[in-house]
Homo-oligomer: A and B are copies of this chain.
């Protein structure tokens, strides 16, 4: 309550800055620093579910406020870098938990994500490798597993632990290629809604045509690679393989483009998107006994490896 009052006592400029940073936090989920994109993303989520949109906005706000109150170092705050992990954590916990307390736990998670973001930024400072969505992933996995031991955390029925010994891979079924074309981008925000998918694409175009190009490219490569390597058809068209590929393609080909020599950026993005497919399959298996989703970990691992390769193998 005191924090609310403090916010109100600020002058208008400060509130405006806070809103802009919060919206940038939303856009940073797609590696974009653009408040307009953030607003369109928020609109897209609202179409799919207004509750989810509220969680997303408040999560980004909480992340930004925590970093501001904590006096986080550098210019990450104004770029929205303390918002995106909070947005994703809030959304994931709200989606994968059920029961009356899920939104409280989600917002608590959003605050914790901002803190973990600051900690990991410091921790990985010397490597000069970005933390990406690692704080969100580690925190969400840990918080979802709490549900097995504390009654107030209720896990959604979708997450089912399975023994590898009893697992049978069944890839049968038609692929809905049209649904596949838009589902990848929506999956990042845990939504499954065609109009929302189109709006998310608009958010990407606003930020620059290159973002849009690599998003499409990443998704297409993931669809065909996963099909070619024999992934489960329902997972493919639901965007299960697409969302990590989109993020990895954008990251490798455009956002972290400090590349000199070696293979061109476009090829780099294609390779990144391709690699996320087996990595997603591998991580799905590692997590199967725990019933946890891979989230954006394949994107994180792929991007880290691509960025490190540029450092150590400049000829590639």
Segment touching B, from A11-19, A157-165, A180-188, A247-255:
A157-165
Given contacts A118-B312, A163-B163, A291-B164, A146 and B282 within 8 Å (CB-CB): yes
Interface residues of A in 51-70 (CB under 8 A from B): 66-67, 69-70
- Is A290 in contact with chain B by the CB < 8 A criterion? yes
Contact bitstring A14-56, B, C-beta under 8 A = 1, else 0: 0000000000000000000000000000000000000000000
Segment touching B, from A2-10, A191-199, A203-211, A227-235:
A227-235
Contact bitstring A246-289, B, C-beta under 8 A = 1, else 0: 00000000000000001000000000000001111110111011
The number of times this chain is found in the oligomer is: 3
| CB-based contact A315/B69 at 8 Å | yes
In the complex the two chains form, what is the Cα distance from A284 to B142 in whole Å? 11
Q: Kindly list chain B residues whose C-beta atoms are within 8 Å of the C-beta of A305.
A: 115-116, 119
**Candidates B71, B160, B230, B232; contact of A314 at CB < 8 Å:** B71
How far, in Å, is A117 (CB) from chain B's closest CB?
9
How far, in Å, is A188 (CB) from chain B's closest CB?
20
| CB-based contact B152/A312 at 8 Å | no
- Is A177 in contact with chain B by the CB < 8 A criterion? no
Chain A interface residue bracket vs B: 35 or more
Contact bitstring A294-316, B, C-beta under 8 A = 1, else 0: 00000000000100110111111
| CB-based contact B289/A145 at 8 Å | no
How far, in Å, is A172 (CB) from chain B's closest CB?
10
- Which label, helix, strand, loop or mixed, suits the secondary structure of the A interface? helix
Q: Kindly list chain B residues whose C-beta atoms are within 8 Å of the C-beta of A282.
A: 142-143, 145-146, 149
| CB-based contact A290/B286 at 8 Å | yes
In the complex the two chains form, what is the Cα distance from A266 to B126 in whole Å? 33
Q: Kindly list chain B residues whose C-beta atoms are within 8 Å of the C-beta of A281.
A: 145-146, 148-150, 153
In the complex the two chains form, what is the Cα distance from A72 to B313 in whole Å? 5
**Candidates B73, B123, B145, B232; contact of A308 at CB < 8 Å:** B123
| CB-based contact A309/B119 at 8 Å | yes
- Is A169 in contact with chain B by the CB < 8 A criterion? yes
- Is A213 in contact with chain B by the CB < 8 A criterion? no
In the complex the two chains form, what is the Cα distance from A289 to B160 in whole Å? 14
Q: Look across to chain B and name the residue whose beta carbon is closest to the beta carbon of A262.
A: B70
16 A-B pairs whose Cβ atoms sit less than 8 Å apart in the complex: A69-B316, A71-B313, A71-B315, A115-B305, A122-B311, A123-B308, A146-B285, A148-B164, A149-B282, A151-B169, A151-B231, A152-B230, A161-B164, A161-B165, A163-B289, A164-B291
16 additional A-B residue pairs with CB within 8 Å, beyond A115-B309, A149-B231, A163-B163: A69-B315, A70-B262, A145-B285, A146-B278, A146-B281, A148-B169, A149-B284, A149-B285, A150-B231, A151-B229, A152-B229, A152-B230, A162-B165, A163-B289, A164-B290, A164-B291
Closest 3 CB pairs of A and B: A151-B230, A70-B313, A149-B281
